[in-house]
Structure 1
Amino acid sequence: MRFQFVGGNLALDFVGTVAEWTTSRTELLVAPADLGAWLAEAGVLDHAPEVSTADLAAARELRGAIRGLVVALEAGQPVPVEVGEVVNRYAAVEPVLLRLDATGRPVRRGTVGAALSSVARSGIELAEPSTAGLLRSCADATCTRAFLDRSRGRRRRWCGMSGCGDRAKAAAYRSRHRRS
């Protein structure tokens, strides 16, 4: 699995498909098939759909708007009108169809547009008053991942311990032992 799902929200994980927005800006959705793979790995759809170049461009537009939404919410600023318009346009599409199959298992089916609608709706949920106080950014200086801090004491600092948290703890350990 090449994608990380550490945000606690589908839209936050989607924004994370660009690593380090403010520095290297590493694109993880390079080809249409990458978007299809992400949609399946994220559990938006059961199987990777056929994705066109236009679908990929649309996904990138939505991702940029959700990034703008997250930045505004985290700063306690109003959401820019153009950001809200883009997110609302994608959310207005009928979302992924979730239903039970004959065996009672959930099945997720839909188009790329439906999947992006589900992502947009997840982004809108970030503006809920109950969620706003949970939104944080990773404390790593180069990481730009946002996450919902649902930890017990609301003191989570890292997007994930398997990357940023491990590096920070290892650096602190080395620093303490150099001084000894």
Structure 2
Amino acid sequence: MPFEFIADRLVLDFLPTVAARGSLGEEKLRSEQDLADWITESGVVDAAPQIRPGDLARARALREAMFRMVAALIDQRPQVPADRVLVNAAAAAPPPVLQLDDEGLHRVGDLDAVLAVLARDCLDLHAHPDRASLHWCADDTCTRPFIDRSRGQRRRWCGMKGCGDRAKAAAYRQRRRAASPT
């Protein structure tokens, strides 16, 4: 299953591994292999680390804590202290290591290193200028947060492919219905 990397922030691309929260709640990290695939596709490390029993649950727990923290940022409400503890602990692990060999530069690390990168990105978002441009996608079925870097700060969709396209098509159909004689 290919994952989407459209947010320009790794943590914001990891959070939607549960799609349509609050309605369908489609879990995209259903297996250890799904987690390994996300890691590989993300480029955090060059090769996915070994995923052991319990690692998938740990990654999901961190994802949910980071989701609640980002939601609190967007909705301007207090954060859950237990979420901060979990994210801070994950961020404290050593990040992936760069290694240069005859084939080139490689990023290597275990799952803790990958989770450290995600947790650090989540924490960085709290003090970064991107924080002020953090919004929810306006699609009723999408629960993806995004950063609005548009000139007028009027972006409404996490991306035009998918959410934006659906909204434009729906608006077009509505205009056509309104313009047609009854």
TM over 0.5: same fold? yes
Distance 1:92 1:29 in 2: 24
TM-score of the aligned structures, taking structure 2 as reference length: 0.93
Cα pair 1:7 1:145 within 8 Å, conserved? no
Question: Where does residue 122 of structure 2 map in the other structure?
Answer: 123
The yes-or-no answer on 1:71 pairing with 2:71 is: yes
Question: Taking structure 1 as the reference length, what is the TM-score of the superposition?
Answer: 0.94
Report how many residues are paired. Answer: 179
Aligned partner letter, 1:55: D
Does residue 81 of structure 2 align to residue 88 of structure 1? no
Larger Rg: 2
Instruction: Name the CA distance, whole Å, in 2 between partners of 1:158 and 1:101.
Output: 42
Which deviates further from its counterpart, 9-18 or 125-134?
125-134
Residue pair 1:138, 1:146 contacting (<8 A) in 2 also? yes
Cα deviations across residues 38-92 of structure 1 (Å, max 9, x unaligned)? 0110111112222123111110010010011011100112322111101001001
2:141 corresponds to:
142
Name the structure 1 match of 2:50.
50
Q: What CA deviation, in whole Å up to 9, does each residue of 1:2-51 have, x standing for no partner?
A: 21112221111111100011111100000001101101101111122221
Partner of 1:151: 150
Gaps of 5+ in 2: none
- Which segment is superposed worse, 18-27 or 94-103? 94-103
Alignment of 1:16-31 (within 5 A): 16-31=16-31
Highest RCO, 1 vs 2 (Cα 8 Å, sep ≥ 6):
1
In the alignment, the residues of structure 2 paired with residue 156 and residue 145 of structure 1 have an alpha-carbon distance, to the nearest angstrom, of: 13
1:146-178 Cα distance to aligned partner (Å, 9 max, x none): 011112222111111110000000000011011
Distance 2:5 2:124 in 1: 17
> Is the Cα contact below 8 Å between 1:40 and 1:47 reproduced in 2?
yes
Question: Any idea what SS the aligned residue of 1:133 has?
Answer: helix
Match of 1:11 in 2: 11
